[in-house]
Amino acid sequence: MSLQLNWIVEPQFGGFYAAGLEGGGFQKQGLDVTITPGGSGTPALQMVGSGKADFAVASADEVVKARAGGNDIVALLAVYQDCPQGLMTRASRGLTSIEGVMKADGTIAVQKGLDYWLFLEKKYGAAKGKVVPSPGGNIAQFLADEKFTQQCFVTSEPLAAKKAGVETKTFLVKEAGYNPYTTVLITRGDVVKKNPELVRKMTLACREGWEAYVADPTATNAAMLKLNPSMDAATMAESAAVQKPLIVNEATKTSGLGCMTMARWESLVQALVDLKAIDKAVPAAECFVDPKSLTAAK
């Protein structure tokens, strides 16, 4: 069975790798899972839709847009309760808000068509600075140009910049009001219908993996370092610590890691309609399967 990631091996996937350790969630549930790393442009969601992957990681807005396009993709577990995406700036610029970033001189590097960028443009107007394509995880230009802003994951690029000796100020897009679930475990709707027990076991195993990783990432980080030697142990540990508040909150303390609510999905669907990212609303209830219904004891 395959789990396709949408980025390279980093702590944002730590719980999945924790599930794959000896005695981890996959083994406990009797699952043989192959985790395949991704990279820039990896079509993880499309791979699930076409049947090339059984499960994958995507973002909630991708799920909504896929369903709006007629693809039967469903979310099973939302690792990041708060979106880790943001805009990274130099702390020396003294910017204090996303609105300030949008109205500042300089350059902003973002991936064209990102839903959160459309949201920011709709809310604050077109950026005053020059908008250029995102360099991905490369921060060379950021380090060279004080007025260069780039999209980031708060768990990644800011830590790389810090390691290079540059103090950053990152503004999460959730601060502006756009907050889709991120690092979401997905599969096809027909898989849920035809093999609910498999989906239940996979969801439970991944949740157990994330519970273990949040509690102590040490062993999993050691395993991931072997798969991604470009990341050092200290940065990986710091990344795991930075992401924890985005994964664990009051909702997860009562409903479990990865929990999702109808209200959040309804809000996201409406936001994407307002942004014209989708032509019409899709039923929020069809976008996800409540993890509690899958992981309940049977």
pLDDT one-digit tens code per residue, 251-272:
999 999 999 999 999 999 999 9
CA distance 217 to 86: 24
Q: Which domains does the chain carry?
A: 2-82+180-295 (3.40.190.10), 85-176 (3.40.190.10)
pLDDT at position 295, please?
A: 56
CA distance 64 to 74: 9
Q: Is the pLDDT of residue 298 over 70?
A: no
Q: Is the pLDDT of residue 297 over 70?
A: no
Across the chain, what does the average pLDDT equal? 96
Please give the sequence-ordered ranges of beta strands (E in DSSP) within the chain, or none if there are none: 2-4, 34-36, 55-58, 73-80, 85-90, 107-110, 130-133, 148-153, 168-172, 182-188
Arithmetic mean of pLDDT, 35-57: 96
CA dihedral sign of residues 229, 231, 234, 238? negative
Amino acid sitting at position 137: G
pTM of the model: 0.95
Among 18, 27, 70, which residue's Cα sits nearest to residue 221?
A: 18
